Structure 1
Amino acid sequence: MAEQHIIEEAWRGFVKKVYDAELPREQHDEMRRVWFAGAFALWTSLMSNLDEGDDATEFDLGRMQAIENEFERFQLEAEALAARSAGTEASLKPTCGRTGCDRAPTHYLVLKIPPHGGSMAQALKAAVGVVLCRDHAEEATAVEILANGTDRIRDAVTATGKLAPDFERAEIEVRRVGDAFWNDVQARVAISQGGGRA
């Protein structure tokens, strides 16, 4: 297998997506160090805290879910800050994640993927990073959600020594996004702009 540079490629993609002009060298280097420090902190957190064995335990799944939730909150904060800075969005609440739908997002999806040869009780649970209106959340399929992510998920799971996921038996759980979820996003945005307390 050829050597992969997953974190470096993600860094380059981030810079290309976020910055139109070339970054000054000093700023680029400092941001890259911070990027890798964050990735290293996540990696060591996962590797040093997962339970031993081939199957994911409830503790493992809970830890992965907590990390996914943090990433989801950060993504919403970043989108809200960008919209507010651009003056294009009056509200911090985005619209449905389905292209062309302008309804309020009220639900998110949790994908449950059992290991090959394992039971659904051993399933990896991962929140999908898109918030949808009720109708689109209820019609989503595992095949649609997994269309572009199976290789990344399989690689991440097997890298921890766990059994490969069985995508053909994946199930979707639809969960309602509560006001506490949005209040948390709004509070974090206010704090990051100097308008609140940590």
Structure 2
Amino acid sequence: MPNRKEIERLATELSKKLADEGKLIEAGWTGYRMLVLPPDAPQIQVDECRFAFMAGSQHLFSSIMTILDSGDQESEADLRKMDLIDKELRAFGREMALRASRSK
């Protein structure tokens, strides 16, 4: 069984490959579905959850594109904004992990 570091390395490689293929968000949805939805979830639940997942992804990406300063180089303000987004999403990740551990 691979250790956590090896899993993270493989996940990073896969993420880069999927991003290059234009499939990163769809792959994220697939992972989310496997972790969160029961295998026998009704199709309406799967469809609505996918819609919500994709809407959240679209919101985040369009928001990032809107809030970043113009120009080719990142600014200090850009880095601060991205850091705050990272912190917000990491907090949610901890919440999600806690919820998943409780359900096992």
Once the two structures are TM-superposed, the CA of residue 71 in structure 1 deviates from its matched residue by 1.0
What TM-score, normalized to structure 2?
Answer: 0.72
Q: Deviations over 1:69-116 (max 9, x none)?
A: 011100111122233344xxxxxxxxxxxxxxxxxxxxxxxxxxxxxx
Matching of residues 10-21 of structure 1 within 5 Å: 10-21=28-39
Counterpart check, 1:54 vs 2:72: yes
Name 1:26's counterpart in structure 2. 44
Name 2:99's counterpart in structure 1. 81
Name 2:55's counterpart in structure 1. 37
Over aligned residues, Cα RMSD in angstroms?
A: 1.8
Give the distance between the partners of 1:55 and 1:22, measured in 2 at CA: 47
- The structure that is helix-richer by fraction is 2
Unaligned runs of 5+ in 2: 1-19
Once the two structures are TM-superposed, the CA of residue 14 in structure 1 deviates from its matched residue by 1.6
Identity of aligned residues (%): 36
Runs of 4+ in 1 over 4 A off after TM superposition: none
Name 1:68's counterpart in structure 2. 86
Partner secondary structure for residue 71 of structure 2: coil
Give the distance between the partners of 1:35 and 1:18, measured in 2 at CA: 12
Alpha-carbon spacing, 1:5–1:47, altered in 2? closer, same or farther (3 Å): same
Q: Deviations over 1:153-196 (max 9, x none)?
A: xxxxxxxxxxxxxxxxxxxxxxxxxxxxxxxxxxxxxxxxxxxx
- The structure that is strand-richer by fraction is 1
Give the distance between the partners of 2:40 and 2:80, measured in 1 at CA: 40
Higher gyration radius (CA): 1
Partner secondary structure for residue 39 of structure 1: helix
Unaligned runs of 5+ in 1: 87-198
Once the two structures are TM-superposed, the CA of residue 5 in structure 1 deviates from its matched residue by 2.1
What residue identity is the alignment partner of 1:81?
A: R
Alpha-carbon spacing, 1:70–1:82, altered in 2? closer, same or farther (3 Å): same
Matching of residues 70-149 of structure 1 within 5 Å: 70-86=88-104
Name 2:12's counterpart in structure 1. none
Q: Deviations over 1:14-72 (max 9, x none)?
A: 21233451421000000011001100110111001101111110111011101110111
